[in-house]
């Protein structure tokens, strides 16, 4: 399974460096889909009372938990961070349409994988939604903040929250990391 993902995401190994992917978001998405598929097969095994299938899926999930991060997702996340940084530097140094487009694609990929959302939902973010949306952590009620743990308060301070319209016109929350927020600001010319 790991070698298939390496091939799909076009993994390349450099000497004395971490492996890099040409399509790092694909590697991360495949991992998310594998866990979803394992859940579906587990449900089928439980409904049909198939102990052998349940044991096989349980072994797969255990192996996935032990090895996926070390062999795939950590390298894919590192590649995504490097690609995003390169795109930001290129756009700041030479603002061309190709560099702007490259940063926009990397930003969309990062938002999609971080939020585990469909690409269409993240692609619906409008610049005015990002710029006009109030800083939600500054406008929180004090009663709400009192219920949060220290870690949750830190996350509230670091992440931005915006809402976009999802399927069936339902609001979909999307969290933005600081690097994604700064990339969107750069793309918007702020």
The pLDDT, as a whole number, for residue 17 is: 67
Q: Could you state, in order of their start, the residue ranges of all structural domains in the chain?
A: 1-93, 115-190
pLDDT at position 68 is 83
- Determine the Cα angle at 87 with ends 84 and 89, to 5°: 110
Sites in the chain below the pLDDT cut of 50: none
pLDDT in tens, 37-78: 999 999 999 999 999 999 999 998 998 888 888 888 888 888
- Burial of 140: CB neighbours in 10 Å, binned 0-12, 13-18, 19+: middle
Q: State the pLDDT at residue 48.
A: 92
pLDDT of residue 96: 83
Q: Pseudo-torsion of CA 123, 107, 159, 137, nearest 10°? A: -50
d(CA 10, CA 26): 10
């Amino acid at each position: 399974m790991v070698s298939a993902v390496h091939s799909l995401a076009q993994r390349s190994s450099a000497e004395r460096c971490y492996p890099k992917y040409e399509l790092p978001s694909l590697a991360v998405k495949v991992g998310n889909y594998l866990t979803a598929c394992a859940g579906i097969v587990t449900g089928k095994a439980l409904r049909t009372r198939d102990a052998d299938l349940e044991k096989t899926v349980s072994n797969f999930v255990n192996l996935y938990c032990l090895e996926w991060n070390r062999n795939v997702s950590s390298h894919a996340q590192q590649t995504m961070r490097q690609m995003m940084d390169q795109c930001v530097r290129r756009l700041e140094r030479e603002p061309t349409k190709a560099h702007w487009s490259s940063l926009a694609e990397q930003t969309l990929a990062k938002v999609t994988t971080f939020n585990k959302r469909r690409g269409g939902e993240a692609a619906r973010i409008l610049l005015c939604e990002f710029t006009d949306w109030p800083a939600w952590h500054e406008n929180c009620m004090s009663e709400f903040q009192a219920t949060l743990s220290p870690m949750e308060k830190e996350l509230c301070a670091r992440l931005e929250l915006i809402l976009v319209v999802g399927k069936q016109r339902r609001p979909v929350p999307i969290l933005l990391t600081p690097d994604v927020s700064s990339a969107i600001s750069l793309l918007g010319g702020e």
